[in-house]
Amino acid sequence: MTRSRKRRIAQLFDNRFCGNIRWRSAEDQAWLDIVPVGREFGSPDYYRYERLDGSAFAAFGDMAVAHEWLSQPHPALGGLSPNDCVSSDAELQKALNLLTNMINNKAV
Report residue 93's pLDDT band, with 50, 70 and 90 as the boundaries: very high
- ∠ CA 41-44-50, nearest 5°, is 55
Q: What is the pLDDT of residues 14-62, one digit of tens each?
A: 655 555 555 677 888 888 788 776 777 777 888 899 999 999 998 899 9
d(CA 108, CA 103): 10
The CA-atom distances, in angstroms, between 12 and each of 1, 19, 23, 74 are: 16, 10, 15, 61
Contact criterion met (CB below 8 Å) for 56 and 62? no
Report residue 96's pLDDT band, with 50, 70 and 90 as the boundaries: very high
Give mean pLDDT, residues 68-74.
Answer: 93
Whether 69 has a pLDDT exceeding 50, the answer reads yes
How much is the pTM? Answer: 0.62
Query: Which of 6-10, 12-16, 35-39, 86-90 has maximum average pLDDT?
Result: 86-90
